[in-house]
Structure 1
Amino acid sequence: MSRRSGRAGSRGRSGHVVDGLRLGFGTLTVLQVPAPRSVDRDAAAVAMVTAVLPGAVVGLGVAATATLLVLLGVPAAPAGVAGVGAGVLLTRFLHVDGLADTADGLVAGRTAERALEVMRRGDVGPAGATVLVLVLGGQVLGVGAVVAGVASGAAPWWSGAQLVLAWAASRAVLALLCVRGLRPARSGGLGAAVVGSVPVALAPVPLLLCGAVGAVAGLGPAPAVLVPVAAAAAAGAVAWHGTRRLGGLTGDVLGAGVEVALLAAILVLAAT
């Protein structure tokens, strides 16, 4: 390879990284970032592998909101409501919308075509509403349980770090859900752009990173190990059922996997 072609290849790789980060932060958060110059499979893979970073940013917002309210004397339960609400706002309702649409689609009719049609409509039916209440309610209770220790004198950073870990791990599962070998359920939409884009060797890296950071931060072996495992198992169950029912994955199913993974992660923290 010539020196010129080597420099061109380097610029190409760095361009994919920049475009992937822009795609990830621009899609997964409310942050205003420049639009990616192009969205190809390499940029999509970068976005999914680095989705743990937007997840950590959202987790910081959640942790700051819930912890500050408890420090101001607000009971843990309302602080949990505010924290989860902040997380939803910081993601433009993206994942909860996917959760509701997925729930409605998976209970609608017997064919994949019928389920995908219901998911495309965007309105929320009884199944979607019920699942939203249960999943968000569980997240609220879990966040409240995590920050309740602050009112008892625990270090605020401890509870905050646990919440950041939970939110980061719930986005880290996107690399697993978009690993090569999985296929999109339809040709258009976010799912078609990202599903199947992540190399197998990179898919577990974000979750392993979450565990390593949790251990280094002193959160203890249980959160550092069990949170990534629980998040992966929960998201994997959603992806398995979605693939079996729809013939592949959609952006809505990815969002549902994120929210269920988050619930599993928070409940592990609340229990440990």
Structure 2
Amino acid sequence: MKDSFDDPPPVPPAERASLPDGIRFAFGTLTVLPARITRWDRPAARTGMACAPLVGLVVGLLAALPGTVLLLGGGGPFLAAAVTVAVPAALTRGLHLDGLADTADGLGSAKPAGEALRIMKQSDIGPFGVVALLVVFLIQVAALTNAYADSWVRGALATVVATVTARLAMTLASRAGVPAARLEGLGAAVAGAVPHRTVAAVTAAVLVAAAAVALPAGLPAAVQHAVAVLAALLAAELLLRRCVHRFGGVTGDVYGALCELAATTTLVVLALG
């Protein structure tokens, strides 16, 4: 994958999508929350994928709420963690988890790119996909159980930071120079849509915000949250490069896999110490 491509030329004002159009695109494609997509074009994809971390913020808050209520109600950290992990899956109709499973099957098939993409498009889940789902669920629940066992604040904060970082990984995967593996689907709509400068600005904003919200717990906590974001993005970048090399580009399934890997990595780092 080539990351050295220049950013695309500035888009004429008439072809720019408004912020509301971009937000509707982001929520309409990445969640089941009510959001009527008003534009389905490259400008809307550009703005929408730049807004993906905002989707993560809303999903994270909605996921942390029932987990916190259960914990404070005496349900225990394990139950709080399990319900917290289930909420994002429900808010996406399991699309990101399905993408993780399909990507694992495609990568594990050892088939040529075209055949691997065909395997990923099938409705069933193969053994690699099943293992990937089980491992991700176990790790996410275990990591959040550890966080909730410390306090509801730590558990809720870990949830929100993980969901925001997971969607930030999608923004990075939509940067200029990343090709689409197919001519149709979400991957084709958003691949290469976001300029590098926008990606850098959004990434910096998420890093600063993650450190800032943890700062009341002390400087080490703030540093840990920033490191968690960076570690997640590194893990997602490695998977992205592997998928582009293996499939010739990204697909909607790859975006789902990146999202789940980034969320899991964030939670693991935040469970340490």
Please give the residue correspondences for 1:133-172 in structure 2 after superposition, counting only pairs within 5 Å: 133-150=134-151, 156-172=152-168
2:197 to 191, 198, 201: 201
Equivalent-residue separation in structure 2 for 1:252 and 1:243 (angstroms) = 12
CA contact (8 A) 1:115 1:246 kept: yes
What SS does structure 2 have at the residue aligned with 1:169? helix
Larger radius of gyration: 1
CA contact (8 A) 2:212 2:222 kept: no
CA contact (8 A) 1:19 1:39 kept: no
Deviations 1:153-208 (A, max 9, x none): xxx33432232111101111111111111100111110000010010111133332
Instruction: Determine whether 1:213 maps to 2:209.
Output: yes
Which residue number in structure 2 is paired with residue 24 of structure 1? 26
| TM-score, length basis structure 2 | 0.89
CA contact (8 A) 1:235 1:261 kept: yes
Equivalent-residue separation in structure 1 for 2:175 and 2:264 (angstroms) = 22
CA contact (8 A) 1:169 1:207 kept: no
| TM-score, length basis structure 1 | 0.89
Stretches of structure 2 that go unaligned for 5 or more consecutive residues are 1-11, 216-220
The alignment of Structure 1 onto Structure 2 pairs a total of residues equal to 257
- Structure 2 letter corresponding to 1:56: L
Deviations 1:116-136 (A, max 9, x none): 000111211111001000011
CA contact (8 A) 1:180 1:196 kept: yes
Aligned-pair CA distance for 1:89: 0.5
Which residue number in structure 1 is paired with residue 36 of structure 2? 34
- Structure 2 letter corresponding to 1:179: R
Aligned-pair CA distance for 1:83: 0.8
Which residue number in structure 2 is paired with residue 60 of structure 1? 61
Which residue number in structure 2 is paired with residue 244 of structure 1? 245
Equivalent-residue separation in structure 2 for 1:121 and 1:214 (angstroms) = 38
Which residue number in structure 1 is paired with residue 177 of structure 2? 181
Equivalent-residue separation in structure 1 for 2:265 and 2:158 (angstroms) = 13
- Structure 2 letter corresponding to 1:200: H
Which residue number in structure 1 is paired with residue 231 of structure 2? 230
CA contact (8 A) 1:104 1:126 kept: yes
Which residue number in structure 2 is paired with residue 45 of structure 1? 46
Stretches of structure 1 that go unaligned for 5 or more consecutive residues are 1-8, 151-155
- Structure 2 letter corresponding to 1:34: R
* Percent identity between the two aligned chains: 37
Aligned-pair CA distance for 1:12: 5.6
